[in-house]
Structure 1
Amino acid sequence: MTAIATTHALAQPASGWGRSSLTLPPLGNLDAYISAVNRLPLLSAEEERDYARRLQKHGDLEAAGKLVMSHLRLVVSVSRQYLGYGLPHGDLIQEGNVGLMKAVKRYDPEQGVRLVSYALHWIKAEIHEYILKNWRMVKVATTKAQRKLFFNLRSMKQGFKADAVDADTHRERLSEHEIDVVARELKVKREEVIEMETRMSGGDLLLDPSPGDDGEEAYGPIAWLADARHEPTAVLEATQRDLLASEGISEALDALDPRSRRIVAERWLKVNDDGSGGMTLHELAAEYGVSAERIRQIEVAAMKKMRKTLEAYA
């Protein structure tokens, strides 16, 4: 079920949601949907807090439905800002509705912020993600000025007669005179027109390619976009390492006798201001009146004991 269909279903009487007074007529097209959601009543601040508390404390799905329905017009309004990307308006609304439902689920009425402000971030985030996944515009024009130049240049190119074709891409390209005309009409630098023309002439590139015929996982540009620091597994591993490096090591050291603890600390944990380590085997041997080999044996036994403690701690 699409997000638009889902939000429409939220308004219909159903056992899971309870009987809601916010009902939409059967919708045959997008214009009818937009017209219907724009007629839905808005909630007062008090009503919004009440429904949000009912959802938060009791999992009241009817309250969730009313919160979603009263903000559908917000999604329609936000989605209009992204029509220039060439994607279907219905799809943009659908993705925005997904973001709205995520916002409603996570909304905390005790924070003193209206849902409209909180949901705005989630709606835009979901639409942005949809655009990133579905259109190469993100690499053609990444700033507001570039997007404006992109659309104006594309429009003006349609009025020019093709004088030249790129030998590599077999696409029409602007002549030197046409570049000057575009730069003058759009009040931009000639170099900016050439750069955008080059980007527009480039072929599409799949960010996340499918595995090859041999079953090997293909490598795509999306790999450069990933931030491994925030990947859930990496976060958990980093947290575990931090615990072992602090509480785990401290607990393992406490399990040793004083002599073994000092030997391990001098040999493995101590770092002087000049970057050098702690005492050597011979220095420790001289201090305790034993051989360097004996100090090494004590160190090995202490490390084994610490390893067992760390394994149990982990």
Structure 2
Amino acid sequence: MSTTLALAPATQTLPAASWSSRALVLPPLGNLDAYIRAVNQIPMLSAEEERECARRWREQQDLEAADKLVMSHLRLVVAISRQYLRYGLPQADLIQEGNIGLMKAVNRFDPAQGVRLVSYAVHWIKAEIHEFILRNWRMVKVATTKAQRKLFFNLRSLKRGFKADADDDAVGRERLTEAEIDTVARELNVRREDVIEMEARLSGTDVALDPLPQDDQEDHHAPIAYLADQRHEPTAVLEARERERLSSEGIEHALAQLDERSRRIVTARWLQVKDDGSGGATLQELAEEFGVSAERIRQIEAAALKKLRKALQAYA
């Protein structure tokens, strides 16, 4: 969302049905500080002026009256937005969302209820800001149920209260104790499991899967490098199939190119395991079987393996 804030001129004529969803626009003011100074200079409406504007909007769909109600309360949105700066989101974005909540409040405001717009609008402004924070604070949404939302916006302040009351032995402790979990659950009327889950979510951080390497990082390994599943990558699949083919059909074809004695030596040395699982036959065992020296068996084995490699390369 852009950080430029603006309010549509009150003279703009739009259908009444479209007013509640259009963005608030002020002529470009350059930066957020200029916007805040500008809205603080907009005069507040008296109670009588407020009732008259609200009546004109409800009965006649008078856009000029609605704009006056909105303009005179923009400073309220700025003040409320400051309460949510700790979530690390741009204040300009918080103000934009709060302005939408203010417009919704004006659209629904009934002066006959006997309350000022400022009291009624606070709820709508905060609701829009809450939704914006929950959508944008993390890549993964952290709060979806009513209990989780209550915990999201209250757990940190409660934890700060626990730290303020903690003794020296608890200094530096971040996690809630069992007693503190029970206290939070009781005060907010939520389950202990909800408190534990939300604390775990808030204590985690987002990690970019493929962040840009820093200048001083020669050996940079992003999470995407070790989280990727290579089992179904096309090249890896083809390579696995080729290895399997060579280890079955290829070996069988290559062995067929050897004479019977060479094939027996290679098979006994490399392709068979003894009953006790100690590996293939030794040179001495094969020497006794064929009635030759162990050195001769080694020479036959070396020649056979060389022939096998050539046969496998030709087969591949």
Q: TM-score range by the shorter chain?
A: 0.3 to 0.5
TM-score by length of 1: 0.45
Largest Rg, 1 or 2: 2
TM-score (norm 2): 0.45
